Amino acid sequence: PGEQLAHDPSKKTIVVLGSGWAATSLLKKLDTEYYNVVVISPHNYFLFTPLLPSVSVGTLEARSVIQPTRYITRHKTRRVEVYEGEAKSVDVKNKTVTFEDNSDIKGAVSTTTIPYDYLIYAVGAENQTFGIKGIREHACFLKELPDAEKLRTRLMDCVETAAFKGQAPSEIDRLMHIIVVGGGPTGVEFAGELHDFLVDDLHSWYPELANHLHISLIEALPNVLPVFSKQLIQYTESTFKANKIDILTRTMVKEVREKTVLVQGENKELREIPYGLLVWAAGNTSRQITRDLMAQLPNVQNQRRGLLVDDHLRLLGADGVFALGDCTATLYAPTAQVASQQGKYIGRVLEQMAKKEQLEATLRSLRVSPDAKPEEIEAVVKQINKVANIKPFHYSHQGSLAYIGSEKAVADLPLFNGNLATGGVATFLFWRSAYISNLLSLRNRFLVLNDWMKVKLFGRDVSRE
């Protein structure tokens, strides 16, 4: 495939923005025989986000949970163009995308504009901060791979600073107080992983700090994990209690300062809580490029939550654009499950559309051919009708899973017409096996299994990079 020309002027061009769940599952499914395919993403890899919290404390290494996009595209029948760059703007009228090399090293060309026939818009979302003061300056996030690496480094910095000679006990308490804001699955999973790191490793490597370690989870709503069933919420809250993770529910963060966070409780009273590390996991909002895209279509794109699409995932108000995953505002939750099913669906739709065009060309030539038999024409018409019948996107929910620490997980699994809610160590083993089998490649499976074994044998690495 590498030898083949990437661009065939007789074929339509699909531009894919992103290399996350939606884009990658589309690339896996897409038959590149029918189209020229161009992929643009600021990261030249796919990130398996469900295991990102494990990277932030060193249970897994960063490279174990990523897969270069070229590993996927190199197996395609025709060469796919892959560019590391950030799409800066989409012109839906002229059907072009402008993208830029935003890495440190730049060549003579670092920005360019390309045309598309079909655009697969799958840029995901960014962290929601609600404009709260101090978050960008002082908090850590847990959304992308560099976030997890930065978090791991900052965490160890707090530990080493707390262990510094002559540090006062009150300052050690502050430095070793880790606050997680957001009791959704990201915040809960991170708090669970962090607990394991503190108990399994830090207690023995830094015994002098053991009594000062403290995790708090702050959530504005009355409980954590609102999308999980009631009994699993209770199970998670009691597991956290047993693990000495404080849950502050009905508590809103109002401002993040350098060493303290300002919160407001149910009684509207404001109080300041000292911290060493604060992790912001309060959900998603649209990226700037998505907001700019909405602004081009003000009459139809009026949802702040994300892009509006029809039931075939076509962007409302634009021709030839499909929007998938977290950048959209649909009935579905912004999850990897939804994004990957949408990617697969669009891969199928594009194949059907290409087949339809091919058949229509055959029909046109048959109709002008003196030798064509009526039954031949009829057969082609039938085939066209078959491929023209493109069904709307249908989501099939496979269940929700979350790791909550101390080798326990919670799972809501659809079962016949009901739901199986389960939590504990057996669910944790199920969680591990589900993720191992969902990882994209044998290489990733091997690396993740190896990391788990390494941690079991030697513990997590506490050196600060």
Closest approach, Cβ 210 to ligand FAD, in A, equals: 28
Cα(215)–Cα(190) distance, rounded to whole angstroms?
11
Dihedral pair phi/psi, residue 374, rounded to 5°: -55, -40
CB of 233 or CB of 350, closer to ligand NAD: 233
Cα(297)–Cα(287) distance, rounded to whole angstroms?
16
x/- track of binding to ligand NAD for residues 18-37 (CB under 6 A): --------------------
Among 334, 343, 405, 423, binds ligand NAD (CB under 6 A): 334
Among 300, 333, 361, 390, binds ligand NAD (CB under 6 A): 333
In Å, how far are 283, 408, 432 from 401, measured between CA atoms? Answer: 17, 11, 10
- On whether the CB atoms of residues 263 and 253 are closer than 8 A, the answer is yes
Which DSSP helix (H) or strand (E) runs through 36?
A: strand 35-41
Dihedral pair phi/psi, residue 298, rounded to 5°: -65, -25
Cα(58)–Cα(454) distance, rounded to whole angstroms?
11
CB of 143 or CB of 152, closer to ligand FAD: 143
* Residue closest to ligand FAD (Cβ): 20
Select from ligand FAD, ligand NAD, none the partner in contact with residue 195, using the beta carbon and a kind-dependent cut-off of 5 to 8 Å.
none
- Which residue type occupies 452? W
Quote the tokens at residue 60: 């897994």
Pairing label, strands 118-121, 12-17:
parallel
Contact flag: residue 399 with ligand NAD (CB under 6 A): no
Residue 94: CB atoms within 10 Å: 9
Dihedral pair phi/psi, residue 188, rounded to 5°: -65, -45
Contact flag: residue 186 with ligand FAD (CB under 6 A): yes
Closest approach, Cβ 334 to ligand NAD, in A, equals: 4
Select from ligand NAD, ligand FAD, none the partner in contact with residue 220, using the beta carbon and a kind-dependent cut-off of 5 to 8 Å.
ligand NAD
CB of 266 or CB of 378, closer to ligand NAD: 266
Closest approach, Cβ 325 to ligand FAD, in A, equals: 2
SS3 state at 258: coil
Return the closest-CA partner of residue 400 out of 332, 337, 315: 337
DSSP 8-state code for residue 23: H
Cα(453)–Cα(187) distance, rounded to whole angstroms?
25
Among 36, 42, 154, 439, binds ligand FAD (CB under 6 A): 42
Contact flag: residue 405 with ligand FAD (CB under 6 A): no
Contact flag: residue 40 with ligand FAD (CB under 6 A): yes
DSSP string, 93-138: TTTEEEEE--SS---S--EEEEE-SEEEE----EE--TT-BTHHHH
Contact flag: residue 18 with ligand FAD (CB under 6 A): yes
Q: How far separated are the first and last CA of the chain, in Å rounded? A: 39
Length of the chain: 465
Return the closest-CA partner of residue 110 out of 79, 86, 82, 80: 86
Stretch that binds ligand FAD, among 45-53, 152-160, 203-211, 344-352 (CB under 6 A): 45-53
Contact flag: residue 183 with ligand NAD (CB under 6 A): yes
Select from ligand NAD, ligand FAD, none the partner in contact with residue 349, using the beta carbon and a kind-dependent cut-off of 5 to 8 Å.
none
Alpha helix positions (H), 120-279: 135-138, 145-162, 169-175, 185-197, 203-205, 230-242
Contact flag: residue 53 with ligand FAD (CB under 6 A): yes
- Which residue type occupies 28? K
Contact flag: residue 69 with ligand NAD (CB under 6 A): no
CB of 220 or CB of 462, closer to ligand NAD: 220
Residue that the structure tokens 């160890």 belong to: 156
Among 22, 233, 252, 455, binds ligand FAD (CB under 6 A): 22
Contact flag: residue 87 with ligand FAD (CB under 6 A): yes
Cα(67)–Cα(446) distance, rounded to whole angstroms?
13
x/- track of binding to ligand NAD for residues 279-318 (CB under 6 A): --xxxx----------------------------------
Quote the tokens at residue 30: 């897409």
Among 252, 346, 439, 448, binds ligand NAD (CB under 6 A): 252
Closest approach, Cβ 145 to ligand NAD, in A, equals: 15
Select from ligand FAD, ligand NAD, none the partner in contact with residue 182, using the beta carbon and a kind-dependent cut-off of 5 to 8 Å.
ligand NAD
Closest approach, Cβ 241 to ligand NAD, in A, equals: 19
Contact flag: residue 43 with ligand FAD (CB under 6 A): yes
Q: Which of residues 111-170 bind ligand FAD (CB under 6 A)?
A: 122-124, 142-143
What does the binding site for ligand FAD look like in residue numbers (CB under 6 A)? 17-23, 40-43, 49-50, 52-53, 86-87, 122-124, 142-143, 186, 287, 289, 325-326, 334-337, 339
What does the binding site for ligand NAD look like in residue numbers (CB under 6 A)? 50, 181-187, 189, 218-221, 226-227, 252-253, 281-284, 333-335, 400-402
